[in-house]
């Protein structure tokens, strides 16, 4: 039985095998990363298209924006706040990455700047647009991770300021050891 048939047989949102879907997406992302490291742009584009059409990636993108994200209960211009399990699956089926896709207008909200009386604008996209952005992010991230500098830590998945501090600490220890070896 092919993977697509198995995937499309799952109708109950609570019965979706999330770990299996995450594994499928991770394997595709790993293939994109390797192709980008090899410099094979044609293969990267083909694999990204495959990931963007993948039922697994669509389901994960929808789950991310409707259940896991902090702004999951924030409505966009369409007024949609919470989706039922049936609506979530319908949203996953509707997701399609095309060159002609146009995002719907965002809902503009003014939020206060930290420590000031001023406010700044914040655009809130519709649930569909958020899910589509999440889907595209899943396919673009592995490619760009392959191109990034190994010692770059800002705005990267799985990396943060603690990793940067650890790297600096390692480098300073290494330099101190080498300096001692040179002096004696």
pLDDT digits (tens, 9 = 90+) for 78-95: 888 888 899 999 999 999
Domain assignment present for 62: yes
Considering the domain boundaries, does residue 78 fall inside one?
yes
Separation between Cα atoms, residue 111 and residue 128, nearest integer Å: 23
How large a percentage of the chain has pLDDT more than 90?
A: 51
Q: How many domains does the chain have?
A: 2
- Residue 24, exposed/middle/buried by CB under 10 A (0-12, 13-18, 19+)? buried
- Residue 152, domain member (yes or no): no
Instruction: Answer yes or no: do 47 and 68 share one domain.
Output: yes
Is 105 inside any structural domain?
Answer: no
Give the per-residue pLDDT at 22. Answer: 96
58 and 84 in a common domain: yes
CB 51 within 8 A of CB 57: yes
Statement to judge: residues 87 and 58 lie in one domain: yes
Same domain assignment for residues 90 and 64: yes
Rg (CA), the chain: 21
> Does 61 map to a domain?
yes
Q: Give yes or no for residue 140 having a pLDDT over 50.
A: yes
Cα gap 11→2, rounded to integer Å: 17
Which of the four pLDDT bands, split at 50, 70 and 90, describes residue 108? very high
Q: What would the pLDDT profile of 29-66 be if each residue is shown by its tens digit? A: 999 999 999 999 999 999 999 999 999 999 999 999 99
Q: What is the mean pLDDT of residues 4-12?
A: 56
Alpha-carbon distance 55 to 22, whole Å? 11
The answer to whether residues 73 and 31 belong to one domain is yes
Name the pLDDT band for 6 (thresholds 50, 70, 90).
very low
Domain residue limits at 163: 159-184
Q: Rounded to 5 degrees, what are φ and ψ at 105?
A: -60, 150
Q: Would residue 174 count as lying in a domain?
A: yes
pLDDT at residue 71 greater than cutoff 80: yes
**148 vs 53, more confident:** 53
Residue 113 included in any domain? no
């Amino acid at each position: 039985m092919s993977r697509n048939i198995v995937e499309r047989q799952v109708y109950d949102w609570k019965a979706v095998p999330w770990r299996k879907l995450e594994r499928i997406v991770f394997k595709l992302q790993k293939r994109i990363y390797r192709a980008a490291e090899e410099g094979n742009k044609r293969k990267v584009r083909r694999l990204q298209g495959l990931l963007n059409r993948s039922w697994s990636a669509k389901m994960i993108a929808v789950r991310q924006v409707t259940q896991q994200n902090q702004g999951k209960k924030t409505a966009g211009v369409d007024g949609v706040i919470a989706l039922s399990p049936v609506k979530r699956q319908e949203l996953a089926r509707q997701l399609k990455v095309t060159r002609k896709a146009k995002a719907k207008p965002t809902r503009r909200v003014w939020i206060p700047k930290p420590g000031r009386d001023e406010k700044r604008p914040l655009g809130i996209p519709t649930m569909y647009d958020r899910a589509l952005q999440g889907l595209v992010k899943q396919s673009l991230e592995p490619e760009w991770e392959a191109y990034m500098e190994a010692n770059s830590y800002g705005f990267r998945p799985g990396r943060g300021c603690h990793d940067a501090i650890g790297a600096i600490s390692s480098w300073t220890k290494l330099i101190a050891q080498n300096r001692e070896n040179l002096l004696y």
